[in-house]
Amino acid sequence: MLAGGASRSPWEEILEVARWAPSPHNTQPWRVRPVSESTAELLLDPGRALPDEDTTGCFIVAALGMFLETLRIVAANRGRWLDVSGLEPEPARLAASSDGRPAGLVPFAMLRLEPSHDERADFEDALILARRTTRLPPSPGPLPAGVMEEIGREAGRWGYAVTLIEAPDAVADLMRLNLEAVIDDLTSPAYHDEIVRWLRLTRRRELETRDGLSARCMNMPAHELALLAAVPRAARWPLIGRAVRALYRRRLGPVPRLAVVAGPFWDAQSAVQAGRCFMRLWLILTRHELGIHPFGNLITNARASAALRERTGIPDPWIVFRVGQTPPPPRSERLAVGRILA
């Protein structure tokens, strides 16, 4: 019930849960414009894209795919079938890319809620609320029996494949590659300036914006994050560079294994499907009490991505992440439902 006794609309009820869907840098680039109690328009807010990091716009489109799948799951948990029509991801991809930057909201799809007595969600709302990125060190023990087979089956349904890398030398090599990609990207002025815009160093700032990369959730003291943001080029100086690398690696903690998802991604339609698939994979892992920490620089950095393909033999990787059981991580903030409604 809203203030004054007014009931929430179906869209508000669904968004109360669906707003916890993940997005790159926690930008939350989606907007929902209700037309009626059963119909709404899903839009991209290009001001919440990352054109200098996600230069193709495909990762923001994948985030919209994750949000779309989350909406579908939450609606099903309320006995509704979510019909999606007029899906046009290419304008959104262009708007989110380095060639875009339009000022207004960009239409993405039309949504319609239909009553359905047969619709049953694959995942409970509680899993969506429990799902979160974890940057805490995972336990070194094995993954639960059968979880990778389950993940593989689900990914295969969508045309994707998941590879688990556990050989210590291979994991260490990829982590060195990731570290160099992070340093390389942070010393790129456009990349650096964009990511700094999304850093939230204090709890007060987090609560003001309800978005972005919080030092609390990144498992980094605010002063370390602020220093790296203030003097990124210092990471290339010999002595400071070694210190920065050692600090980053220590903060990261152990990496007992990496998972790589591969398949079609680098066009708008494929990015939507990849996002929907990945949301489901993440919820399966959450059901098994496993957390993930994505390493986006291994994909978005051109040199790192080429080296990743060469070293692993995986032809079309689009996301790499650490997976394991960790202590409960902090949860990042989300925009209130009123700020998502357009």
What integer is the mean pLDDT of 152-167?
98
Q: Do domains 3-128 and 129-324 have the same CATH topology?
A: yes
- In this predicted model, which residue has the larger pLDDT, 8 or 162? 162
Per-residue confidence (pLDDT) for residue 3, from 0 to 100: 45
Listed residue (138, 139, 144, 151) closest to 283, CA to CA: 151
What integer is the mean pLDDT of 155-181?
96
Does residue 293 have a pLDDT over 80? yes
**Of the options 3.40.109.10, 3.20.20.80, 3.40.50.620, 3.30.499.10, the CATH number for the domain spanning 3-128:** 3.40.109.10
What integer is the mean pLDDT of 59-65?
98
What integer is the mean pLDDT of 284-299?
97
Per-residue confidence (pLDDT) for residue 5, from 0 to 100: 45
The domain segmentation of the chain, as residue ranges, is 3-128, 129-324
Does residue 119 have a pLDDT over 50? yes
110, burial (CB in 10 Å: exposed 0-12, middle 13-18, buried 19+):
middle
Per-residue confidence (pLDDT) for residue 4, from 0 to 100: 45
Does residue 72 have a pLDDT over 70? yes
SS3 212: coil
CATH number of 129-324: 3.40.109.10
Per-residue confidence (pLDDT) for residue 101, from 0 to 100: 73
**Any alpha helices (H) in the chain, and if so which ranges?**
10-18, 58-76, 89-96, 125-130, 147-157, 168-186, 189-197, 203-209, 222-230, 238-252, 268-287, 297-300, 302-312, 337-340
CB-side neighbour CA atoms (13 Å) of 175 = 23
Per-residue confidence (pLDDT) for residue 233, from 0 to 100: 62
Per-residue confidence (pLDDT) for residue 159, from 0 to 100: 98
Of 80-89, 181-190, 208-217, the one with minimum mean pLDDT is 181-190
CB 309 within 8 A of CB 315: yes
CB 110 within 8 A of CB 39: yes
| Percent of the chain whose pLDDT exceeds 90 | 80
- Strand 39-44: give its sheet, edge to edge: 30-34, 39-44, 106-115, 80-85
Per-residue confidence (pLDDT) for residue 238, from 0 to 100: 60
Mean residue pLDDT across the chain:
92
Residue-wise pLDDT tens digits, 234-259: 666 665 566 666 667 777 889 999 99
d(CA 322, CA 275): 18
| Percent of the chain whose pLDDT exceeds 70 | 91
CA distances from 285 to 130, 152, 158 (A): 11, 12, 17
